Every structure is written in C-alpha cells, then in structure tokens.
Structure 1
Amino acid sequence: MLNVVGNLPMTVDWTDTATAIAARIADCATAHDADDSFVAEGFDALEEAGFFAALVPAELGGGGASVGEICDAIRIIGASCGSTALAAAMHSHIVAVAAWRWQHMGAPTDGLMKRIVAEKLKLVSSGGSDWLKSAGTMEKVEGGYRLTARKAFASGSPTGDLLMTSAVYDDPEEGPTVLHFAAPLKGEGVSIASTWQTMGMRGTGSDDVVFDGVFIPDAGIAGKRPQGEWHMLFHIVSMIAFALIYAAYVGVAEGARTRALELARKRPADPMLAQLAGEMENALLTARLAHRRMVEIAETGTPGPETTSEAMQLRTLVGRNAIDTVAKAMEVAGGAAFYRKVGLERAFRDIQAARFHPMQEKPQLDFTGRVALGWDING
C-alpha cells in the first residue's frame, strides 16, 4: 500500500512523471501556439500528478520534492511544450522560495503552503514586471489598503488563484515603500486583460491583471521594503527562482536539438553539417553545465550579493547558450526548419523569451561588476 502525505504520494519519480506528461501534451502545444490559448491540458496533467504541491515540504502535507527534481521535470516538459514548462515554473519558484524561507529563516510562510496543498492553489507571479521598483499604488484605508495596479507578464493567470505581487505605498514618514502581499485573481475589482499576443511562449497565459481598488487587509501584508533597493528577499529569489525558470529554456533547447538531429540524420554525410552539429552540441552543453550550477546554488547557496551575482551570471550564460542552441538547430535541420509543422520555428520563437527575465544581460553585467569592485549594488 502506498503511503501518502496529505493527498500526495510521499515519493514521486518526477522524471518518469514529466516524461509521460510531455508525451501527453505534445500535440496540444502546436494548437495553443497557433491561437494564443492557455495550455490548459498541460496544467490539468500537472495537477493530476500533484505537481503544484510538489515543492511544499512533506511536513506541511506537500510532496517534499527538491528544486533539482522539479527543474528536471520542467526541463523535460519544456522539450515538448515550452509554454507549459514556463508557466509551471512561475508557480514553482514562488513555492520554492516560500519553502526555503520557512526552513531556513523560520518565516511564517507555512500557512500559504498548507493552503496550496489543501485548496490546490495555483500561484501567479508579477515579479518579472515589478522587480525592485514595483508598480501600482496602495492607498491606506481603515483596516488595510486599496490596490490600484496593472500587472503584466502574469503567467498562468487564466487558471491562477493568487497573484504574489507588490505595489508602492507613499508612506508619509518613510517615503515610497514597496508592500508585498498575495492578491486574489478572482472577485470584485479584479479583471484579466487579454494582452498576451506575442512572438513566442504564446500558451503561458501571461496576460495583464488589472486591480481597481481591491482591498488588501493589513494582515495580508507579508513584507515591506524601500522602493528600488536590494532587499534580502530578492537575494533569496535570485538564488532559487531562476534555476526553475531557466529549466524551461534548457528544455526548449534540448527539444530543438533532438528534432534537428532527427532531420539531419536523413541527409548525406557532410563535414559542414558535422561542424554545425558540433557547434550546437557545444552551446547546449554550456547551457546545461551553467544550469546545473544554478541548481546547486538554489539547493545549497547562502543568499547575498555574491550569490546573486553568480546566479545572475549563470542566468545570462544559460539564456545566451540556449538561444544559440536553437539557432544552430535551425541550421542543422536546414530548410525544413522554416516550416511550422517541423516544430523548430516554434522553439526558435519560444527561446527568445529567455532574453527578458530579470536581470537582463546589461543590468547583470553592471551588478556583477559592482560586486567584484566592492561598490554599492544599489548604484
């Protein structure tokens, strides 16, 4: 008899589970890419497998999976459907950060994680559009605040329950202050604007979420910080989140490489083709090695400027080499790659999104340089 924790098996082979899910949703990926629709089948399959509670510690009723296990699952799914992988990673990184804070800092994030298990919550992040400065306003009212904001890049918003977000309160004593909280994605004053018509990753449902005076109680404020300045929370996020997010892009690159080789093996032997394949292999190996180090940092690192610098350097290396891998895959496949039915064209578009997550390459270079020189990281 299988022992269970909550409603989840105590141990799940996420490699096998992800492989089965990837095969199940492969045919749907093309359709969602064609009409900009959300990858509902992928999320349904993940929910059936207990994925959304997988990173919740077993003591709190979750799956107790490691960051590395879930990165592998996201990577495998990404080879089949980049949108499912990326949207799933956005939920996963929030849970991973909450688990780390509870385990290592005694932070009161256990209530959220228990709710994820009991209520089967799916979390959505606005971090990519907010980062250090945040956006939107908080107006102080009796018992809490009124939130007015428009949050972009909210991956998974069609099916999400809570947006883990922030907004700016103009504190009369402390000045512009960023407040962090969970906002409901359903209810009065909340609407989803269908803005996600993009080059790639079209199935992530990364629409804008609009809040029109939504009440956030005082008790719902999870933290606050000065606007625009580095805070320990962001060092924790940088240490953990991007290993999960960029697992999706490594997966897209691996899927493109596999398809390109399938096509190239049907062609006559050609030294030039071999060299192109070798360049593709070098780029993919670089992305894989850099991502492996990202996972090591996420699982064993100590948050702080030095760790953030390395994690962001790796984010740049993974993104750049994943993009290069897919570009080389197009060359290896030859003219066939230009046809949508082959799948490489979609991978080429999807992989471009790796450019746009924080910290983008130029800000990363500035941050890394400041850390190396011993300068103030807040500029």
Structure 2
Amino acid sequence: IAEVAARHAHEVDREGRFPSESVQAMRDSGLLAAWVPQSLGGPGLSLRQIASICAQIGGACGASGMIFAMHQIKLSSIVHHAGASPWYQQLQKRVVAEALLLGSVTSEVGVGGDIRRSLTHVVREGDRFKLDKHGSVVSYGAYADALLITARADEQSPPNGQVMVTVLKNQYQLEKTGSWDAMGMRGTCSDAFMIRAEGACEQIFEAPFAEIIANTMLPVSHILWASVWFGIAHSALLRTRAHLRSVMKQSGGQLPAAATRLPDLVARVQLLHARLLSAATRFEAAMVAGQGALPMSLTTDLTLLKSTMSEGCLAVVQEALTTVGFAGYKTEGAASLGRHLRDLHSAPLMINNARLIETMSSFLLMDPLQFGLA
C-alpha cells in the first residue's frame, strides 16, 4: 500500500484529489478489515499493528494514511460497541468480503467544531428512522461506502444526548455545500455535505455516543492520528538524511555543516516514537482487560498524546526543512518537504489543541503525576 501511495502522493497533493490508487491497494490487501475479529473472517489485528500500518502509509502519503486511520477508527467503534448486534456482525462480514470504506459525519455546521454536541436529531417512525445532518467536514464522504453519523437521540434530547448510526451508501443522499481546497491533507477530500439518511432502527448503536467516544473513539483516534503524523515526521527525517548523504558524496566525503543538526532530529523522532508506543501499549492493555471506563490517568495521557504528537511531529519537519534548505523548500525532488509540512499543519487543528489543553488543565491539578521507572 505504501509503495502505491508514495507513487501517487505528489499528484494527489497537487491536484487535491482522492487517492484512489492507494485506497484500491487497501481494498486489495484486505487491510480495510484489519480490526474485524477472526471469528467474523477478518485479520483481527492489534491496535499497535494497525498503528504501524498507519505510520507506514502516512510516511508515503499523509492523506492516504489519514483515510486509512479514520476508517479504522470507525471500525473500532463498531467492533467494540456494536459487535453483538446481528446487523453489525453482518456489516463486519461485508467489510471483509467487499472491502467497504467507512466514513464519518461527526462534525456539524453550527456547533463550533465540538463533536460531543449535535443540533440535528434522529426521527424514529416505528422500526425505521430518518436523519438530516449538515456536516461541515466530511472526509472522503463522496467516496465512502457507508457513513457513521452522530445526532441527538430524539427531539427532546440535549445537545450532548447523542447516538451514532451507520447508513449504507444506498440509504443516504449527499448534497455538496462546500469544497475542500485546503493547505494540506488535500487528498482527504473533506468537503461539506447535507446528508439525508434513513434506515432501520437496528442500525442505531445501543451504546450512547458519550460512551463510545470516551472509551474507544477518541483514544483510538489520538493513537492512529498520531501514528500517521509520526510516519510523516519519520519520512522527513529519512529524506533529510538522504539529502545530507548526497551532499557529502558530491563534496568528496566532507561532512556538510548542516549534518550537525541530524543528531537532534533523530533524538526528537525517538522521543516521539517512545511517547506514541507507550500510550498505544497502555491503551491496548486496557482494551484487552475489558475494564470498561478508562481510568482518568489513561484518559489524560491519551489526550495529551494528541497535543504532544501533533506539535512535536510538526516541529521535526520544520527543523528538517531548516536542515535541508532550499532543496526541501522546492515542491519537486527527493528532498522536498513542502507536502510533509503542510499536511502536519492540520495536526494541531484536528480537535484544536487549545481546547484539549484547557479541558485537561483542571484534571492535571488532581492527577498524582507519578512516574515510576521500575
């Protein structure tokens, strides 16, 4: 997948088009079903295995890596919060057999980017439901085979009284209301749409969305997003080293002055890798233990992971650009880092870091902040 993604990454970025080639490679590999358990015919990969794939694809093409990550985030919600439902068991089997691509409509015009609040609500009519939602950012919405949509449970529910529903492509209509002509992550094609959907009530998750987002969706999002960002930063490091080697070869073996920046770059990437691996390992252990609500210390750790990785990976690419110089500033060439830098500028904005840090500040005042080394 990564090889295909790398081959088309420049064109996808330049044209702002959907990375159809890399997504087809995902379908052909069977890895769109990565999270589906073996009992339902899937590979049943672990969180860390999926995170590793996200990093590899992200290093080749940030948009392709993010599409893979967002799909797996939706699939994790189904596996862990609707796995006992016959309808959702059948859906998982279809993801395996048909390589369905799952999209998401958690954003909404009018809520200021707060995905824990909804304006629209589900309208139930017997064993059927209808739902109209104006999604402000619907990543690869026009290319998805199914959408997972959040809304208030009913007309009387408060904004945070949300449920999540899954609708298949033949159960909804999309009306495009805004285009995605963005600075980076251009291939995610995150246009705005008015979505009109209907389906059977069995397609509504029984678990409230507040439970899904707290225990699975947000932690998995932060880990898989961070994996994509890490892949981009690691790619920038490798490009920087390759450029310095080329310069040294051209100068008859003389060490370039800029090479003195390389140890610091490597150390930064190592720290980011350790931070990501630690968080993924802790959360994976909690998932295996099946302990229900996550402990506050782990929730805090996974929230801070997002801000740390988004800013840290961006800083690595910025430093790599300074090290490489104009060879990295150019849009063409093996040392080009423009796409890496622009893609990573989206990272602090995906659930704005300022909002996360404000939320975490009060929790950290109460956290014991113990850091054992044993």
Task: Give the direction of change, closer, same or farther, for the CA distance of 1:281–1:134 in structure 2 (3 Å limit).
Answer: farther
* Paired position in structure 2 for 1:260: 240
Residues in 1 aligned to 2:212 and 2:36: alpha-carbon distance in whole angstroms: 21
Task: Give the direction of change, closer, same or farther, for the CA distance of 1:130–1:122 in structure 2 (3 Å limit).
Answer: farther
Contact 2:150/2:162 (<8 A) preserved: yes
Residues in 1 aligned to 2:22 and 2:236: alpha-carbon distance in whole angstroms: 19
**One-letter identity of the residue aligned with 1:218:** C
What percent identity do the matched residue pairs reach? 22
Contact 2:172/2:198 (<8 A) preserved: no
Q: Offset at 1:117?
A: 1.7
Question: For residues 1-379 of structure 1, what are the structure 2 equivalents within 5 Å?
Answer: 21-101=1-81, 109-127=88-106, 131-169=115-153, 171-172=155-156, 174-176=157-159, 177-186=161-170, 189-193=173-177, 195-212=179-196, 214-223=197-206, 225=208, 230-231=210-211, 233-267=213-247, 273-301=258-286, 302=291, 303-304=293-294, 305-342=296-333, 343-358=336-351, 360-374=352-366
Residues in 2 aligned to 1:321 and 1:151: alpha-carbon distance in whole angstroms: 30
- After superposition, the C-alpha distances for 1:165-206 in whole angstroms (9 at most, x for unaligned) are 21125544x544322101334456333456111000111122
3-state SS in 2 of match to 1:203: helix
Contact 1:238/1:308 (<8 A) preserved: no
Residues in 1 aligned to 2:71 and 2:202: alpha-carbon distance in whole angstroms: 23
Q: Offset at 1:120?
A: 2.5
Contact 1:288/1:318 (<8 A) preserved: no
* Paired position in structure 1 for 2:110: none
Query: Mind listing any 5+ residue stretches in structure 2 that lack a counterpart?
Result: 108-112, 249-253, 368-374
Q: Offset at 1:276?
A: 2.4
Q: How many residues align?
A: 347
Residues in 2 aligned to 1:316 and 1:127: alpha-carbon distance in whole angstroms: 20
Q: Offset at 1:65?
A: 1.2
Contact 1:97/1:240 (<8 A) preserved: no
Residues in 2 aligned to 1:127 and 1:290: alpha-carbon distance in whole angstroms: 27
**One-letter identity of the residue aligned with 1:132:** R
* Paired position in structure 1 for 2:372: none
Residues in 1 aligned to 2:212 and 2:55: alpha-carbon distance in whole angstroms: 28
Q: TM-score, normalised by structure 1?
A: 0.82
Contact 2:165/2:205 (<8 A) preserved: yes
Of 271-280 and 82-91, deviating more is 271-280
Residues in 2 aligned to 1:101 and 1:232: alpha-carbon distance in whole angstroms: 7
Task: Give the direction of change, closer, same or farther, for the CA distance of 1:58–1:167 in structure 2 (3 Å limit).
Answer: same
Residues in 2 aligned to 1:310 and 1:356: alpha-carbon distance in whole angstroms: 19
Contact 2:139/2:191 (<8 A) preserved: yes
**One-letter identity of the residue aligned with 1:126:** V
**One-letter identity of the residue aligned with 1:158:** A
**Two-structure CA RMSD over aligned residues (Å):** 2.6
Residues in 2 aligned to 1:232 and 1:90: alpha-carbon distance in whole angstroms: 15
Task: Give the direction of change, closer, same or farther, for the CA distance of 1:233–1:77 in structure 2 (3 Å limit).
Answer: closer
Contact 1:257/1:280 (<8 A) preserved: yes
3-state SS in 2 of match to 1:136: coil
Q: Offset at 1:319?
A: 1.1
Query: Mind listing any 5+ residue stretches in structure 1 that lack a counterpart?
Result: 1-20
Q: Offset at 1:140?
A: 4.4
**One-letter identity of the residue aligned with 1:350:** D
- After superposition, the C-alpha distances for 1:17-65 in whole angstroms (9 at most, x for unaligned) are xxxx222332211111111110000001111110111211101110111
Q: Offset at 1:270?
A: 6.2
